[in-house]
Amino acid sequence: MTERLETQILIPGTGGVAQAAALLRAGGLVSFPTETVYGLGADAANDRAVARVFEAKGRPHFNPLIAHVPDVEAVEQIALLGGVARDLAQAFWPGPMTLVLPIREGAELSRLVSAGLPTVAVRIPAHPVAQKLLKAVGRPVVAPSANPSGRISPTTAQHVVSNLGDRIEAVLDGGPCEVGIESTIIGFDPKRTLLRPGGLPREAIEAALGSPLATRDETADINAPGQMTSHYAPDARVRLDVKTPRPGERLLGFGPVDAEWNLSPGGDLVEAAANLFRMLHEMDRAGDAPIAVSPIPDTGLGRAINDRLHRAAAPR
């Protein structure tokens, strides 16, 4: 059963953070900004609230969620932070990195969060509004990206309202997200593995560790939407690595090409990541002609951009 709700827009600085925290503590669904994308927040200990997250997104229940907390102390209340994970935590948290860690015995987490796995994905976001909110809530908040499952992730409060409005209690509006692409996910079972490329480049993690990361086996059993083939999809068809668009195609450019939409005319991957989802949302609103995308270098944030674009272009 999906009730229709009147979604409130809350503004940080005018009491919005306290209102959002109260709604979350009462079992409500509240979208909030992080530096990567907007999350769809719910109290991670509340079974009903977590179940509503899956329902609002149309997300399969076997796909586990990320628990968000404000600091390492709060991480340790729910998960075990081993040696290498601790080094990464020190180097990159708060920030666009998620670690998959063993669940601590007795952790107050709904079993739905981890979809029955013995591990939980944890992140400490850097966005000041997210930090304030998590401190005010005082317990872990699950937050998948605040989009219907399979669709483009939101980088503004308006994206959230237009895609999930009437299914959630509120959106805390913190302006556009700076990084614009989801967190990088690292697992440790059994080897240090890049589970999802994201806002923290692989190269930075490998430099900090002094050794290469393994790459996730795409055929592995955990079958998560962000890791499913078709995902991040706009309504229009998407074609990649295009130098010359076909008649009728709209170009999503990168670098010095003539295009109405250009991820970064100067060829900057950080700027391109920040623009990616917003421009896909805009192109979706503007029409349904197929989208052709310029080649994007597969280094640094380019890896995460290409990962999302390959999924947007995959057969549906």
Among 131, 145, 183, 264, contact with Mg ion (rule: CB under 5 A): 145
Least CB distance from residue 148 to ligand TXA, whole Å?
Answer: 11
**Tokens 């076997």 map to which residue?**
62
Least CB distance from residue 290 to ligand TXA, whole Å?
Answer: 26
Least CB distance from residue 154 to ligand TXA, whole Å?
Answer: 9
Instruction: Kindly tell me the sign of the dihedral angle through the C-alpha atoms of 110, 112, 115, 121.
Output: negative
CB 96 within 8 A of CB 179: yes
Region 95-114 residues binding ligand TXA, contact defined as CB under 6 A: 98, 100, 114
Q: Which residue is nearest to Mg ion, using beta carbons?
A: 145
- Reference 8, options 172, 132, 162; nearest CA is 172
Span near ligand TXA by CB under 6 A; candidates 21-29, 57-65, 252-260, 304-312 = 57-65
Our finding on whether 183 is near ligand TXA (CB under 6 A) is: yes
Chain centroid to CA 288? 25
Least CB distance from residue 128 to ligand TXA, whole Å?
Answer: 15
Tokens of 5: 């709700």
Our finding on whether 182 is near ligand TXA (CB under 6 A) is: yes
Alpha helices in the chain (DSSP H): 16-25, 47-57, 72-78, 83-92, 128-137, 157-164, 202-209, 269-286, 301-313
Least CB distance from residue 194 to Mg ion, whole Å?
Answer: 17
Our finding on whether 264 is near Mg ion (CB under 5 A) is: no
- Reference 109, options 61, 146, 143, 142; nearest CA is 142
Residue 120's binding partner among Mg ion, ligand TXA, none (Cβ under 5 to 8 angstroms by kind) is ligand TXA
**Tokens 């556009």 map to which residue?**
176
Does 225 sit behind a cis peptide bond, omega within 30 degrees of 0 on the bond before it? no
Our finding on whether 137 is near ligand TXA (CB under 6 A) is: no
Our finding on whether 152 is near ligand TXA (CB under 6 A) is: no
Region 26-45 residues binding ligand TXA, contact defined as CB under 6 A: 34, 36-37, 39
Our finding on whether 119 is near ligand TXA (CB under 6 A) is: yes
**Tokens 């990206």 map to which residue?**
145
Residues facing 9 on adjacent strands: 171
Give the interface size with ligand TXA as a residue count (CB under 6 A): 29
Q: Which residue is nearest to ligand TXA, using beta carbons?
A: 224
Tokens of 201: 């480049």
Residues facing 261 on adjacent strands: 252
Our finding on whether 80 is near ligand TXA (CB under 6 A) is: no
Chain centroid to CA 184? 9
Binding site for ligand TXA (CB under 6 A): 34, 36-37, 39, 63-66, 98, 100, 114, 117, 119-121, 123, 143-145, 182-183, 185, 187, 195-196, 222, 224, 226-227
Binding site for Mg ion (CB under 5 A): 145, 226
